[in-house]
């Protein structure tokens, strides 16, 4: 079974801090995704990557950046955390094109910015 592991289940940070969320998958998947999930809004795509060192903006990239130095690892970076970035963050991966492959999700990181 594919395993997508997010580094933390719960995280509390302060406004202005630089925050790193890490995601690792163990199935050599090409595509990796970062989503955030908010009540009433559902899941929204922040960034995705289809290869090492490649990244593409999703629907809501403002305030975020990403890094993919190795195929198995995709990091989400909050450059200067703000309270409106308090949310549930979910990482996912797929083999091949996302359109034709199921997405495998991590358990999520519930991030609170105080």
Partner 1 sequence: KNEVEQSPQNLTAQEEEFITINCSYSVGISALHWLQQHPGGGIVSLFMLSSGKKKHGRLIATINIQEKHSSLHITASHPRDSAVYICAVAGTGGGADGLTFGKGTHLIIQP
Summarize as ranges the residues that interact with partner 1 (CB under 8 A). 9, 30-31, 33, 35, 40-45, 48, 50, 56, 58-59, 88, 90, 92, 94, 96-108, 110
Q: In the complex, what is the shortest distance from the CB of residue 49 to partner 1, in angstroms, rounded to a whole number?
A: 9
Measured from the CB atom, the residue of 69 and 99 that comes closer to partner 1 is: 99
Nearer to partner 1, 79 or 107 (CB): 107
The residue (of 40 and 69) whose beta carbon lies closer to partner 1 is: 40
Pick the closer one to partner 1 by CB: 35 or 64.
35
Report the distance separating Cα 71 and Cα 102, nearest Å.
18
- Distance in Å, CB of 60 to partner 1, minimum: 11
Find the shortest distance in angstroms from Cβ 82 to partner 1: 22
| Order of strands, sheet of 73-78, starting from the edge strand that comes earlier in the sequence | 4-6, 19-25, 73-78, 64-70
**How far does Cα 83 stand from its chain's mean position?**
18
Rg (CA), the chain: 13
Give the dihedral sign, CA 19/25/29/35. negative
- Rounded to whole angstroms, the Cα distance separating 64 from 101 reads 26
Of 68, 76, 74, the residue nearest 36 (C-alpha): 76
**Shortest Cβ distance from residue 37 to partner 1 (Å)?**
8
């Amino acid at each position: 079974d594919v395993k997508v592991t997010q580094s933390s289940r719960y995280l509390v940070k302060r406004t202005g801090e630089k925050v790193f969320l890490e995601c690792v998958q163990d199935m050599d998947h090409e595509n990796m995704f970062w989503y955030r999930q908010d009540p009433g809004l559902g899941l929204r795509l922040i960034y995705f990557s289809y290869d090492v060192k490649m990244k593409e903006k999703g629907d809501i990239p403002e305030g975020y950046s990403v890094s993919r130095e190795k195929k198995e690892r995709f990091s989400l970076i909050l450059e200067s955390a703000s309270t409106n970035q308090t949310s549930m963050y979910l990482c996912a991966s797929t083999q091949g094109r996302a359109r034709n492959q199921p997405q495998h999700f991590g358990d999520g990181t519930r991030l609170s910015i105080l």
